[in-house]
Amino acid sequence: MPAFSRFLRYFMAVGRLGSIRKAADELNVSASAIDRQILNAEAQLGMPLFERLPTGLRLTAAGELLMAAGGRWHKGLSEFRAQILDLQGLKRGHVEIAIIDALTKGYIPALIQAVQRQYPGISIGLHVMGSAEIRSVITKGEVDFGICFEPQSIRDLTVRAFAEVPLGFVTLPGDPLGQRASARFSACAGSPMILPGRPLAVHQQIAVLEATTQLPIERKVISNNIQAIISLVLQGVGVGLLTSIDVMTEVQAGQLCFTPISDPILKPMTLALCTATSRTTSYAADIVLNEIQNGFTHLSYQEATAPGA
């Protein structure tokens, strides 16, 4: 394993940098040592791993395959080392998590703080991305688990917990619309609107509502950033259209009101905590995963708006 580990480290550095010299500088080893390891591997495989170009080295098809396998091997080795530490009774390890932008405040940061207070040896990599990208990185094994809207493939993803999240109007506390328990989409007629654009998950739901109701909407701002929409509502620019999870923190603080849209055609979105069906999570990942799973119901609209939530 040590010899293969050394070769793989050299190979992946060259593949990433496209140069033996640059890889040698980064790894602080001689260029000849790296070149020798690669030439030996190519001789054993019977095919080249790199194309030698005047501008540097480029991965061949075989090299691309080995690069991908090397990434999986490196992650597997890290998980193996974490499991060995677990056997020694040490609560250590590294966990990679992917979440949507709406979860970067409130529940998830508080949970991470609680986990690290109880397990200081666990470090966390937190990636913020869209739901489609989250589904992709989970199935590829690039993260241990993720939280996304509308998981589409039950074959590749295992849903560990879910919450139903409604779409609704986001208003300032003094707005009459914000005092209603729910409202039809037509209630926003004549109001200046701040709408989410692609690739936000709610964009498609709004398109369905528009097509069904044929309601003319006064678009003031369209943004693909949830925090920007919230900030614009807080500035009094107009009425926002977001999910309850997007504004949970502001609603609980009394800064904004959320009114669910009650049109029958509109169904709540499913926010899901997912792992890859084909992979087993590490001990450290299980610790964090279980903590999130235990409190996941708090992300539902009813729980989030209940007194003391």
pLDDT at position 2 is: 44
Mean pLDDT value of segment 185-210: 88
Cα–Cα dist 10/16, whole Å: 10
| pLDDT mean over 281-305 | 75
> Topology of 2-70 in CATH?
Arc Repressor Mutant, subunit A (1.10.10)
Does the reported pTM lie above 0.85? no
The four Cα atoms 218, 223, 229, 233 give a dihedral, to 10 degrees, of -30
Q: Does residue 128 or residue 73 have the better pLDDT?
A: 128
Sheet holding 145-149, edge to edge: 121-128, 92-99, 145-149, 269-276, 157-165
**CATH 1.10.10.10 domain range(s) in the chain:** 2-70
**Percent of the chain predicted with pLDDT > 70:** 89
| CATH 3.40.190.10 residue window(s) in the chain | 91-164+270-305, 167-267
Please state the three-class secondary structure of the chain as a single string. Answer: CHHHHHHHHHHHHHHHHCCHHHHHHHHCCCHHHHHHHHHHHHHHHCCCCEEEECCEEEECHHHHHHHHHHHHHHHHHHHHHHHHHHHCCCCEEEEEEEECHHHHCCHHHHHHHHHHHHCCEEEEEEEECCHHHHHHHHHCCCCCEEEEECCCCCCCEEEEEEEEECEEEEECCCCHHHHCCCECHHHHCCCEEEEECCCCCHHHHHHHHHHHHCCCCEEEEEECCHHHHHHHHHCCCCEEEEEHHHHHHHHHCCCCEEEEECCCCCCCEEEEEEEECCCCCCHHHHHHHHHHHHCHHHHCHHHHHCCCC
pLDDT of 90: 52
CA distances from 306 to 107, 150, 242, 249, 297 (A): 15, 24, 19, 13, 12
Task: Tell me which amino acid residue 226 is.
Answer: I
CATH topology of domain 167-267: D-Maltodextrin-Binding Protein; domain 2 (3.40.190)
| Class level of CATH domain 91-164+270-305 | alpha beta
- When pLDDT is cut at 50, 70 and 90, the band that residue 307 belongs to is very low
Task: Please say if the pLDDT value at position 236 is more than 50.
Answer: yes
